[in-house]
Structure 1
């Protein structure tokens, strides 16, 4: 065989040996290409689906299925964790944390106007007598503030008093690293909390302020004279007080759309565009933001340590001025105030603890907290002052949307007499009634039913209606007469229990004084007489404490309506220290009621997912990124892997 033939045969054999291997490699490549094609097609399909879903979700409102959650009754019992060393600059600037007292009742959120808690501090410099105000921040537990709180510059030896307010029912203080004891915090007495009110170091603060006044270091401004020619009102004037005087504070906060909270300062207001202002429904806010402007009076203010160059009001300032300037008769917390009762019975111990917290004298022989005397002064002097200032109040706004201040105060007074179990709330032969009205003028009003919660702290419902105006019979000539009058109530008997130690906060819920079922608020005949043009001689107070065995239904004063949050910068009136908004949306927030439409947007409205925390602004971005990633993978597998032949 020739060499050429041998080489040819050998090459042919080699080709034959390579053919099976090449065939196997080709089949393997085909199989891999099929897999890549399938994966690419699947990735492309998922990418397109994600892209379409993102586009649809970004332009679609919150699902209707989430609506019931937003309308659910919020938890009215919350706990506030007090930071360590609360009286120090660091403690004041550390946010307080809000949480549910009982998680089974639902969460507590500071941005929910029906659950908002508030903290307010007033500072006195013993060396100079100078006063200042600082509003510590409250945030939801486990969250961060929208803006870091300002650290206050406290003078050496500063004496700090702290007060708390709450828009729900019962606020329980919880200690953090012995903070309640360090701050001298008082939440109530012997297992019975006050409800919406608490304080820290208040007794020492008022003592230091009194010492500074006695030494001539602190000069408290006179209350002045109003447009009516009378002395301006204070928190101890029967023309202003209600069933639970000197409760809650004047603090207000900013809340953004994500529910994060910040101090109300000029810097934060400018930075947090679109935020809303959260307010605490309180006697003090009623005085400084509504009554004072209506009468041309000026509120007592001091420098705001969180807001340089600005002045602020506070509960502490109001009480210092009231103690200095209020003429007799002076309204002091009585034994029938629901916040100082224990299981609907009078408690001298709890009353004294509350009085210490607002700078009032303890119960004594003359100053004995007599419920009957308090009721008499409230139903006569209080009604007369409101009537005397009708022309000013009728032209002024109130915390209740669409209701003038005169109607608001009239309804509030009628409800207070009922809640205090005053004999005047159901005087025999009464023929006139007043319901809590909601009108923009004295000629247009609504009816409102005031209700009380089972926990003992007020709730109020005052929806607008087109019913005829309802007011005390003697206020308007055409006021309708009442068809029925509730049975005469009994006044809680005085008791002198053994003095237990003050409650300084607890992680467990504590029952507040019980209240009975809701009932309509009727204006007593004695109040109507006091508000009539003719001089009022006052009703006879002759019903003994044990005259009836069943307490009359309690009704909530209208002041407990919480001013709605609104856009920052809407200022009403001319008070320099007034909160940013005093105008409220129709149907003001009610205690233990669903959040109003104008409140901070709920999780359902903003698309916030409870488990992930993602919001409606971040979800479209994430969806778009995922869809582009999948489409890119699909393009690579379907096109990029193919080689040119």
Structure 2
């Protein structure tokens, strides 16, 4: 049974993973632009460690599927993840994925270890669809450092005989490359890392096209029911009045998107600091691993599910967690299904644009790569119809003209929300403002005759503590531009850097 979105009065925050994350002071989020990645590793009694590491000025994924090994682990931003055989099966889901270095580097040499999750941690998330009943469920496969064993053996899920599984990958570095544990593993899982010679970067997928095509068909037949996104009485409408019945945010809202929307996962893992071993984040494992800390992957989905929703009186779309006694949990795929449901789609729908750094090829727009990324998330391909809202210039224009007045009108309520990354902003409002400020530059919006609509005031550590907004409606020009500014012309970012390690 799937748990839908509902009003604040009916929320059971203590039962869902998103609420637990929201109780933490900060976690890695995908602003897509953070100058210095901030990841929070937290334990049962609060934050046990916060680290901030400058990751350099890489502004987009490398152009090839692998990168030359860094000379030191501290300088490395790329890792391989070893995908088990038959990854879509119950056995494959319960077989740990292994994180290691690229180009023959070991995990230790490269820094690609789960004890270094703040910088180079990898995360995997599966969403399962029962094609007979339409029921959805979630399972988070475990990632371990190559050469280690799990702190606790993963739970083997029970899958319906006719299940269709999609697997999403997230990464706290820059480039994560899938490598099959066997010669056929990636083909068995219909796994996609990008186009030939150009990986997406932080994210990748397995079987997303099949999953979303089937899910959309079952929705049309009435066999899969995705709930309404719900409404909030705390959102101020554009007219300046409290919006009784204003729609809760979804990941396709221009109110909340950034330079690389729809990226990274909501998966959490437990780390045993004494041994460096990881385990699935379950109630039983937390009780049986004294002193464990929790590792998180920053994402747009965590931003909405764990920060914006609680602040605005909304609740994420959730399904049973097959590893954790069917406790309700969220997932990237569930968030996409929610955003794609007819009736939930925003009037102006944000789809992954061609100027998203993860779909560039040699710093140029590439519709083929963008379409592949979109298809793995159930989004329609680049076309005259989708370009009305999400062509590069129009995407920038909509971000400026929709998100800016939303933030300006809702400053009071957003300022009460917790910041996902306190090194970016001291509360949810300043975080979102700084994220918008950085997304504008990293999408190259200035190339289209637009002016950055946000001015932030920074403290001595570079975190936003105040923001002002210019809400004058702008019109994009130079809409035929097909390349991005060079990395030297853009602010340095490492998908985890500007608050967008892949999602925020």
1:259-338 equivalences in 2 (<5 Å): 259-324=276-341, 325-338=344-357
Which 5+ residue runs of structure 1 have no aligned equivalent? 1-70, 438-444, 449-461, 473-527, 531-535, 564-588, 592-645
Question: What residue number does 2:68 align with?
Answer: none
3-state SS, counterpart of residue 353 of structure 2: coil
Within 2, Cα distance between the matches of 1:435 and 1:72?
34
Q: Partner residue of 2:111?
A: 107
Higher-Rg structure is: 1
Q: Helix, strand or coil for the counterpart of 2:384?
A: coil
In structure 2, relative to structure 1, the CA distance for the partners of 1:97 and 1:559 (3 Å cut) is closer
Output the TM-score relative to the length of structure 1. Answer: 0.60
Which of residues 167, 174, 179 is equivalent to 1:174?
Answer: 179
Deviations 1:617-641 (A, max 9, x none): xxxxxxxxxxxxxxxxxxxxxxxxx
Q: Does 1:349 align with 2:383?
A: no
Change (3 A) 1:562 1:203: same
1:479-628 matches, within 5 Å, as 528-530=469-471, 536=472, 538-543=473-478, 545=480, 551=486, 553-555=489-491, 560=496
What is the CA–CA distance in structure 2 between the aligned matches of 1:165 and 1:260, rounded to whole Å? 19
3-state SS in 2 of match to 1:330: coil
User: Which residue does 2:122 correspond to in 1?
Assistant: 117
Give the SS at the match of 2:138: strand
Task: Assess if the C-alpha contact under 8 Å between 2:414 and 2:429 holds in 1.
Answer: yes
As a proportion of its length, which structure holds more helix? 1
Partners in 2 of 1:313 and 1:124 — Cα distance? 14
Shift of 1:85: 0.1
Q: SS state of the match for residue 114, structure 1?
A: helix
1:152 aligned residue: 157
1:81 shift after superposition: 0.5
In 2, the alpha carbon distance for the partners of 1:275 and 1:549 equals 43
**Does the Cα contact within 8 Å between 2:173 and 2:494 map onto a contact in 1?**
no
- Matched with 1:384 is 405
For structure 2, list consecutive stretches of 5 or more residues without a partner in the other structure. 1-71, 236-242
Aligned-pair distance for 1:269? Answer: 0.5
What is the match of residue 32 of structure 1?
none
**CA separation of 1:255/1:74 partners in 2, compared to 1, >3 Å: closer, same or farther?**
farther
Q: What do the CA deviations read for 1:106-143 (whole angstroms, capped 9, x no partner)?
A: 23101212111000000000100000000000001111
Aligned residues of 2:151 and 2:277 also touching (Cα < 8 A): yes
How far, CA to CA, are the matches of 1:254 and 1:74 in structure 2? 26
Q: What's the CA shift for 1:373?
A: 0.6
In structure 2, do the counterparts of structure 1 residues 558 and 173 end up closer, same or farther at CA, with 3 Å as the change threshold?
A: closer
Q: CA deviation at 1:553?
A: 2.8
* 1:364 is aligned to 2:394: no
Write the deviation string for residues 23-45 of structure 1: whole angstroms up to 9, x where unpaired: xxxxxxxxxxxxxxxxxxxxxxx
Superposition map of 1:12-411 within 5 A: 73=74, 75-103=76-104, 106-112=110-116, 113-177=118-182, 178-226=184-232, 227-228=234-235, 229=243, 230-257=246-273, 258-324=275-341, 325-368=344-387, 369-401=390-422, 403-411=426-434
**Residue 211 of structure 1 aligns to a residue in which SS?**
helix
C-alpha offsets along residues 204-240 of structure 1, whole Å, 9 cap, x if unaligned?
Answer: 1111211221222221111111122221110000011
How far apart, in 1, do the equivalents of 2:483 and 2:113 lie?
42
Equivalent residue, structure 1, for 2:61 = none
Per the TM alignment, residue 268 of structure 1 is displaced from its structure 2 partner at its CA by: 0.1
Considering Cα pairs closer than 8 Å and 6+ residues apart, tell me whether 1 or 2 has the greater RCO.
2
CA shift for structure 1 position 327: 2.2
Structure that is richer in strand per residue: 2
Instruction: Indicate the residue corresponding to 1:510 in structure 2.
Output: none
Q: State whether structure 2 residue 485 is matched by structure 1 residue 471.
A: no
Q: TM-score, normalised by structure 2?
A: 0.76
Over 3 Å off, 4+ runs: 102-105, 424-428, 543-552, 555-563
1:92/1:542 Cα in 2 relative to 1: closer, same or farther (>3 Å)? same
- In 1, Cα distance between the equivalents of 2:96 and 2:405? 44
Counterpart-to-counterpart distance in 2, 1:547 and 1:308? 49
Partner of 2:36: none
- Gap change, CA 1:558 and 1:78, over 3 Å in 2: closer
Provide closer, same or farther for how the CA distance between residues 123 and 424 of structure 1 changes in structure 2, counting only shifts above 3 A. Answer: same
User: Residues 347 and 117 (structure 1 numbering): CA distance in 2 closer, same or farther, change over 3 Å?
Assistant: same
> Number of residue pairs matched?
408
Give the drift of 1:75: 2.4
Superposition deviation, residue 328 in structure 1: 1.4
Counterparts of 2:483 and 2:163 in 1: how far apart (Å)? 51
What is the rounded CA distance, in whole Å, between the counterparts of 2:161 and 2:457 in structure 1? 49
- Computed over aligned residues only, the root mean square deviation of the Cα atoms, in angstroms, reads 2.6
Distance 1:234 1:555, change over 3 A: farther
